Structure 1
Amino acid sequence: MSITIAKRKRQSPDDARATAVAAARDLLRDEGMGGVTLKAVAARIGRTHANLLHHFGSVAGLHQALAEDISLTVSRSIRAAIGKRRRGEASARDVVNTMFDAFHAERAGELIGWIALTRQRQALEPLITTIRSIVEDFRESGDQRPMDRVTLGLVLLAIGDSLVGEEVAEATGLARIAVRDDAVGLIKGIVGE
Structure 2
Amino acid sequence: MSIKPLERRRVSPEESRAAALAAARDLLTREGAAAVTLQAVAARVGRTHANLLHHFGSAAGLQRALAEEIARTVSSSIESAIEQRRRGEGSERQVIDAMFEAFRREGAGELIGWVALTRQREALEPVIATIERIIRVMRAAGDVRPVDRMTLSLTLLAIGDSLAGEEIARACGLDRSAIREVAVAQIEGLAGAPLRD
Task: State the TM-score, normalizing by the size of structure 2.
Answer: 0.92
Partner-residue secondary structure (3-state), 1:9: coil
One-letter code aligned to 2:55: H
One-letter code aligned to 1:161: D
| Residue number in structure 2 paired with 1:16 | 16
CA deviation after TM superposition for structure 1 residue 35, in Å: 0.8
One-letter code aligned to 1:81: A
4+ aligned runs moved over 3 Å, structure 1: none
| Residue number in structure 2 paired with 1:146 | 146
**Structure 1: how far apart are the matches of 2:165 and 2:74?**
18
Partner-residue secondary structure (3-state), 1:145: coil
| Residue number in structure 2 paired with 1:3 | none
Identity between Structure 1 and Structure 2 (%): 63
Alpha-carbon displacement from aligned partner over 1:88-118 (angstroms, at most 9, x marks no partner): 2212221111111110011111100000000
| Residue number in structure 2 paired with 1:170 | 170
Q: More deviation in 115-124 or 143-152? A: 143-152
Alpha-carbon displacement from aligned partner over 1:148-179 (angstroms, at most 9, x marks no partner): 11100000000000000011011100110001
Q: How does 1:97-176 map to 2 (within 5 A)?
A: 97-176=97-176
CA deviation after TM superposition for structure 1 residue 49, in Å: 0.2
Structure 2: unaligned runs, 5 residues or longer? 1-6
| Residue number in structure 2 paired with 1:37 | 37
**Structure 1: how far apart are the matches of 2:93 and 2:143?**
19
Partner-residue secondary structure (3-state), 1:175: coil
| Residue number in structure 1 paired with 2:4 | none
1:92–1:184 Cα contact (<8 Å) kept = no
**Structure 2: how far apart are the matches of 1:86 and 1:118?**
39
Aligned residues: 187
**Higher alpha-carbon Rg:** 1
1:75 to 2:68 alignment? no
**Structure 1: how far apart are the matches of 2:92 and 2:18?**
34
**Structure 1: how far apart are the matches of 2:146 and 2:124?**
24
| Residue number in structure 1 paired with 2:47 | 47
One-letter code aligned to 1:176: R
1:77–1:99 Cα contact (<8 Å) kept = yes
Task: State the TM-score, normalizing by the size of structure 1.
Answer: 0.94
1:21–1:66 Cα contact (<8 Å) kept = yes
Q: More deviation in 84-93 or 106-115? A: 84-93
Partner-residue secondary structure (3-state), 1:54: helix
RMSD (Å) for aligned C-alpha atoms:
1.1
CA deviation after TM superposition for structure 1 residue 85, in Å: 1.3
**Structure 2: how far apart are the matches of 1:66 and 1:156?**
20
Alpha-carbon displacement from aligned partner over 1:116-152 (angstroms, at most 9, x marks no partner): 0001011000000000000011121222211011100
**Structure 2: how far apart are the matches of 1:129 and 1:119?**
18
**Structure 2: how far apart are the matches of 1:73 and 1:149?**
22
Q: More deviation in 42-51 or 28-37? A: 28-37
One-letter code aligned to 2:59: V
